[in-house]
Amino acid sequence: MKIVIHRGINQIGGCITEIATDNTRILIDLGQNLPDGEGTVNDNLASREAIGEITQGIDAIFYTHYHGDHLGLFHYVPDNVPQYIGEVAKQVALCKHQRLSYIKGREELSREEIFKLDKMALLTSGQDVNVGDIKVIPYFVSHSACDAYMFLIEVGEKRILHTGDFRGHGYLSKGLLPTIKKFVLSQGKVDFLITEGTMLSRLNERVISENELQREAGKIMARYKNVFVMCSSTDMERLASFYAANRHTSVRPLVCDLFQKNIFEIFTESAGKHTSLFRFDQAYAFNLKNTKLIDWMEDKGFCMFVRATDKFKDYYQQLISRLEPNDTVLIYSMWKEYINDGGKHAIQRYIEFVSMFPHMEKLHTSGHASPEFLAEVCNLVNPALGIIPIHSEDSASYSKLPIYEDLKLRIFTSSNTISKVEIIIS
């Protein structure tokens, strides 16, 4: 058996992992590199030729979730290679790419993306997918993308747990450790743990729970009448935090654009069937011609989800004359480094967008596991042969986590061979 980390060691995003036997080869994720601060993506694999080469002989591709750094190269994949994703994740990705199809000059690319997404096979938590002599079993994880999965991969007697991106402080995180105990470890030992380490570069950062974030959002909303919220438009748990905080604070309307409303409808029809926390059925689509809604917003205040785009700049400019500056705030709920002017991760359009607002409050928590939770998962799984850390700017820092001492000796960040398993790390 081979485990090939094509990308992911000492790099956040652009994840590509291969599991191979003499007869079968699969990929976990086919992610695009993250863009720089100007929005430019430098990725030598972002072409039909490069993906044709890397997928030559691949029998299937499994996606942990719909973020571009895990899914972004899917449209280059040849039609004869099956691709798998969660059902709700597929709906969200389709909604996004259908919206992108309205961008002038992008029509042909969007048609290809939508065609490839439409063809994707669906994953269901706990249901096996057999590809040749490789068995893949997806299990749900909480992440800043809805319908995300980790994969238990069984090859003969060898078992690999690929966590994908996950966290322990979301509303849906409490099931992760029991799932690993009940469905993974009860069936036998895990040989290799392939897991993320995004927060390793932020070892001293305090990670708050979504429940805490919701309470803090409520306090901010109690102080301000007009609340703009800038967060990921597809992070169901974060959206739920602000939606609930607004609902508990007042009767003011919750406003968004049509794309966000469509995303809300997907979440309401899926997760909303199981809990009221994810029912987003009282959201109003903003339209500058809807004077009744705008009058209501001026009278009662509002909570409005926004993104750093020209459209939302225009919305804000049209509304600003009707808003009292001291009653108006932007809650910024994304990574702080995106608006750190001069920082290597700064995004200029984010910086320009947040600067328009008279007041700004930063309120965020990561979509990724805290160092403490990473250690808890590593110690629980306690892989017999080793840990392969990916999705981290400093994978070697795994040895700094409070994990078992013998596990620290089995962290692989370079190529190796152990127990007839060849580990190849590019």
Q: What is the pLDDT of residues 30-64, one digit of tens each?
A: 999 987 766 677 899 999 999 999 999 999 999 99
| Contacts for 227 with CB less than 8 Å, ≥ 6 apart | 220, 221, 246, 301, 302, 303, 304, 328, 329, 331
* CATH number of the domain encompassing residue 35: 3.60.15.10
Residue percentage of the chain with pLDDT more than 70: 99
Answer whether 100's CB lies under 8 Å from 139's CB: no
How is residue 219 written in tokens?
A: 């306090």
Residues 177, 326 within the same domain: no
pTM metric for this prediction: 0.96
Residues 105, 195 within the same domain: yes
Please say which residue of 362, 382, 403 terminates a domain: 362
pLDDT at 318 over 70: yes
Give the 3-state secondary structure of residue 298.
helix
Distance of alpha carbon 41 from alpha carbon 32, whole angstroms = 8
Predicted confidence band at 178 (pLDDT cuts at 50, 70, 90)?
Answer: very high
Residues 14, 125 within the same domain: yes
Please say which residue of 321, 341, 362 terminates a domain: 362
- Say which amino acid occupies 225: K
Give the range among 67-76, 100-109, 179-188, 268-277 with minimum mean pLDDT.
100-109
pLDDT of residue 342: 84
Residues 109, 10 within the same domain: yes
Instruction: Look up the domain containing 216 and give its range.
Output: 210-362
Q: What is the pLDDT of residues 396-418, one digit of tens each?
A: 889 999 999 999 999 999 999 99
Residues 246, 277 within the same domain: yes
Q: Render the burial of 355-370: b for 16+ CB within 10 Å, e for the rest.
A: eebebbbebebbbbbb
Distance of alpha carbon 70 from alpha carbon 13, whole angstroms = 7
Residues 97, 117 within the same domain: yes
Distance of alpha carbon 324 from alpha carbon 413, whole angstroms = 54
pLDDT of residue 193: 98
Q: What is the pLDDT of residues 232-275, one digit of tens each?
A: 999 999 999 999 999 987 789 999 999 999 999 999 999 999 99
Give the 3-state secondary structure of residue 40.
coil
Answer whether 127's CB lies under 8 Å from 139's CB: no
Distance of alpha carbon 247 from alpha carbon 239, whole angstroms = 12
Residues 303, 400 within the same domain: no
- Say which amino acid occupies 278: F
| Contacts for 4 with CB less than 8 Å, ≥ 6 apart | 17, 18, 19, 20, 424, 425, 426
Give the 3-state secondary structure of residue 305.
strand
pLDDT of residue 38: 65
Residues 32, 54 within the same domain: yes
Residues 285, 421 within the same domain: no
The H-assigned helical ranges of 271-323 are 291-300, 310-319
How is residue 192 written in tokens?
A: 């290799």
Specify the number of domains making up the chain: 2
| Residue 142 CA, distance from chain mean position | 9
Please say which residue of 344, 362, 380 terminates a domain: 362
* CATH number of the domain encompassing residue 229: 3.40.50.10890
Residues 251, 386 within the same domain: no
- Phi, psi torsion values for 301, nearest 5 degrees: 85, -175
Average pLDDT, the chain: 95
pLDDT at 11 over 70: yes
Residues 182, 237 within the same domain: no
Residues 393, 276 within the same domain: no
pLDDT of residue 134: 98
